[in-house]
Amino acid sequence: MFLGAALLILAIFGAPLFAIIAASAMLGYQKEGIDLMAIAIEVLGIASMPFLSAIPLFTFAGYLLSESKAPRRLVRLTGALLGWMPGGLALVALGACAVFTAFTGASGVTIIALGAILYPALQHDKYPDNFNLGLVTTSGSLGLLFAPSLPLILYGVIAEVSIDDLFRAGILPGLLMLVMLGGYSLWIGRGNRQTLKAFSFHELGAAIRESKWEIPLPIVVLGGIYSGKFAVSEAAAITALYVLFVEVFILREIPLRELPRVMRESMLLVGGILIILGVSLASTNYMIDAGVPQQILAYVAELVSSQASFLLLLFVFLLILGAILDIFSAIVLVVPLILPIAAQYGVNEVHLGIVFLAAMQLGYLTPPVGLNLFIASYRFEKPIMNVYYATFPFLVILMLAVIIITYWPALSLVLLGDP
Amino acid sequence: MVLLLAGMMIVAVGQIVLRVFFSGGFVWADELLKLMVLWIALIASIAASRSNRHLRIDIVSHFVPKKYARVPVMMVDAFASFMCGVLAWQSYRYVRLSVGDTVLVDVPAWMVYSILPVAFAIMSYRFLLSFGTEARQLVKPGQQ
């Protein structure tokens, strides 16, 4: 008990989570008289999980893209497609960010790569400053539910759910978020009748030609995954190799000597995620053996009886969780424990995944420690309180979206084919 | 790490080419990929220790002035260093036990697994260094 409290305090002081998790797993082993050596076997379990190679490969591809001029090309292309509408620039921002986040795996690079282009452009078009700040901050995690984002893949690996199913299930909920935020943006921009520019086939053609190397990428990757031609880990390998080839050898936007630095930079996040995964295998296996999910279930059963009230409880829990933990640690630590509980209440595991990730997406924006808030504050040199305030309306809208996603399972499940 | 990442791409894509065009492939390639993920995980984790980029709950570092955060940071570093030491020791014991096992057809398993104690030992050392830096700052403030 005392040691548990000490671990909690260390965690709040900012101890690396993997060390905390390893410590709690070992305490559990000690209590049960299991040889502590067992933790090594559990960490080696990283090497027996399927599809895991997708995580380093997609992350690497995402970092490469964000270091190249691809973000600029993406903004130009979306601008050519959507810029003719009044309030078009806000929609451009939302659309471009969603695509970019999906491909770079929600690691905060979107705000840095795209925000730097979009924020000044929005200011130039005389949108209210707080709106711009909130929009860019929110957009940084918007594509989370679209394939092939890292959290979706990680949830699939952990929950042993088909990743293809998750990719299908994320489409409509992700679009719902986009539409709701888009609607809000248009409403804010209603006084601003100024269009970005008239629609022109000439500009669209030029933008397409400029992005001709990147356009095949989503088509091949998403087409390949959705048609079942290749597994997600294979898609990741193709993406990484293709992006490497295009950005370094064809477009030459990243010099070869910079490559080791980009690789190293991208692997920092991967190392952080995978080492937590390794030690969590130990702690969750121990907790499942010790019957922790059943104990939580017994406790939860006293509080709620229906699926609807369970979902409400889940939603509140995930909001709190998202405010303290990053999305990757949360998936690895919590999903194995709530899966059996959710199953008791008849919640579909694919739907649970979408709800989990959608709620965790809010965590990027919830004060006090939402990751996007800090990145935006740092990147745009705004006081953190200002960013909290600017992001709040967007947070409320996304929260509404998450509630809809939670209580409307069909939205996630209708594209799966079988009910 | 660079070689591992490049190797991973080549093995994985090679595997697809073999499957699509020759409807074949190597049984060991899949296992190799998974072991590469393990190695990347641990080597990247060392890098994350060095750059102080491990995932954590970031309240103190954002809201407590650096001057007052020193003691908590020292406690955290000491704890992390100790835990990595324990992990290194326990995985070393496991590696010794696995002598005689093989992976990838006929590679001795201990060679592959030894990344575990090595990586944790290096991480333990890194956290210790960071602890030392903070401690010196506490004793003689202002010196870098």
Beta-carbon separation of B113 and A328 below 8 A: no
Which positions in chain B touch A373 (Cβ < 8 Å)?
none
The better pLDDT of the pair B26, A228 is held by A228
Which pair of tokens denotes residue B37?
């993920």
Beta-carbon separation of B5 and A56 below 8 A: yes
Q: Where does the pLDDT of residue B144 fall: very low under 50, low under 70, confident under 90, or very high at 90 and above?
A: very low
Number of CB pairs, chain A paired with chain B, less than 8 A apart: 189
| Residue B143 clears pLDDT 60, i.e. is over it | no
| Residue A419 clears pLDDT 50, i.e. is over it | no
Mean of per-residue pLDDT scores for chain B: 83
Q: Cβ of A36 under 8 Å from any chain B Cβ?
A: yes
pLDDT tens-digit series, residues A186-214: 888 776 656 656 777 888 888 888 888 88
Shortest CA gap A226–chain B (Å): 17
The better pLDDT of the pair B84, B4 is held by B84
**A144-181 in b/e burial notation, b at 16+ Cβ within 10 A?**
bbbbbbbbbbbbbbbbebebbbbbbbbbbbbebbbebb
ipTM score of complex: 0.89
| Residue A157 clears pLDDT 80, i.e. is over it | yes
The better pLDDT of the pair A326, B80 is held by B80
What pTM value is reported for the model?
0.89
Which positions in chain A touch B38 (Cβ < 8 Å)?
44, 46-47
Calculate mean pLDDT across residues B11-33. Answer: 73
Using CB atoms and an 8 Å cut-off, which of residues 195-214 of chain A contact chain B?
none
**A323-342 in b/e burial notation, b at 16+ Cβ within 10 A?**
ebbbbbbbbbbbbbbbbebb
| Residue A247 clears pLDDT 80, i.e. is over it | yes
Beta-carbon separation of A53 and B54 below 8 A: no
Question: What are the CA-CA distances from residue A37 to residues A114, B26, B37, B90, B125 (Å)?
Answer: 46, 32, 21, 5, 21
The better pLDDT of the pair B141, A405 is held by A405
What are the beta bridge partners of residue B102? B108
The better pLDDT of the pair A200, A60 is held by A60
Query: What are the residue ranges spanned by the domains of chain A?
Result: 35-416
Which positions in chain A touch B34 (Cβ < 8 Å)?
47-49, 52-53
**A381-397 in b/e burial notation, b at 16+ Cβ within 10 A?**
ebebeebbebbebbbeb
Calculate mean pLDDT across residues B130-139. Answer: 87
Rounded to 5°, the CA angle A335-A338-A339 comes to 80
Q: Where does the pLDDT of residue A84 fall: very low under 50, low under 70, confident under 90, or very high at 90 and above?
A: confident
Q: Where does the pLDDT of residue A25 fall: very low under 50, low under 70, confident under 90, or very high at 90 and above?
A: very high
| Residue A228 clears pLDDT 50, i.e. is over it | yes
Which positions in chain A touch B85 (Cβ < 8 Å)?
none
The DSSP bridge pattern shows strands B107-108 and B102-103 to be antiparallel
Single out the residue of A238, A255, A247 nearest to residue A211, CA to CA.
A247
Q: Cβ of A10 under 8 Å from any chain B Cβ?
A: yes
| Residue A310 clears pLDDT 80, i.e. is over it | yes
Q: Cβ of B40 under 8 Å from any chain A Cβ?
A: yes
Beta-carbon separation of B47 and A47 below 8 A: no
pLDDT at A206: 87
Shortest CA gap A79–chain B (Å): 33
